[in-house]
Amino acid sequence: HRGAREQVPDTTDLAELRAAAAACVGCELYRDATQTVFGDGPADADAVLVGEQPGDQEDRSGEPFVGPAGRLLDRALEDAGIERERVYVTNAVKHFKYDLRGKRRIHKKPSRSEILACRPWLAAEIAAVEPALVVCLGATAAQSVLGSDFRLSQHRGEVLEAQDFPARVTATWHPSAVLRAPDRDAAYAALVVDLRVAAAQLR
């Protein structure tokens, strides 16, 4: 597998990109997943939000952030004063990676090579939307957008310039990390604080 680059059409039309991504074989993850989960939202969105990869429910429905993490994200966006309809939501990796435990599919973190393989799709989405701000949700998204030297724990909530993307970037917790946090209320509050910083960039 050689990554997605050769499969990304030279276009800023999101519908064309989405159609091409549906047939992507840029890494091995397409084999065991149901379908490509491409980004979703308006082409003129103010912000692009980047998650890690689709989860079980996203894999079945074909839409990003429709499961438990997505519901938490919707609530956090509302609490931060960001309209969900004004953002484009996508993932660093566009196929669901999992381990089978009996009949349950357990989320498995994408590898560095899988993140790199899928990065051309994310780059194409960001080039198409031309957002004022890219919001990385969690370390995987931040690694894809800001590079593997970026440390989320040290730079959470800061507004940075991306090296390879024509956008400002900020990074915060992943909604799934908030759901797993020992003190969920505190983690949720921190997420909302960071999203308010993002909201201020959009005004």
Per CB under 6 A, residues contacting ligand URA are: 51-55, 58, 64-65, 67, 69-70, 91, 176
Q: How many CB atoms lie within 10 A of CB 197?
A: 17
> Rounded to an integer, what distance in angstroms lies between the CA atom of residue 169 and that of residue 137?
11
Q: Is 39 in the site for ligand SF4 (CB under 6 A)?
A: no
CB of 97 to ligand URA, least distance (A): 11
Q: Is 4 in the site for ligand SF4 (CB under 6 A)?
A: yes
- Residue 42 gets which letter from DSSP? -
The strand pairing partners of 196, in sequence order, are: none
Q: Is 116 in the site for ligand SF4 (CB under 6 A)?
A: no
> Rounded to an integer, what distance in angstroms lies between the CA atom of residue 179 and that of residue 52?
15
> Rounded to an integer, what distance in angstroms lies between the CA atom of residue 96 and that of residue 21?
14
CB of 50 to ligand SF4, least distance (A): 13
User: Whose Cβ is closer to ligand SF4: residue 94's or residue 105's?
Assistant: 94
The binding track of 84-113 with respect to ligand SF4, each residue x by CB under 6 A or -, is ---------xxx------------------
Give the chain's end-to-end CA distance (angstroms, integer): 42
User: Whose Cβ is closer to ligand URA: residue 91's or residue 172's?
Assistant: 91
The answer to whether 51 and 1 have CB atoms below 8 angstroms apart is: no
Judged by the rule CB under 6 A, the positions of this chain that interact with ligand SF4 are 4, 21, 24-27, 29-30, 36, 93-95, 117-118, 121
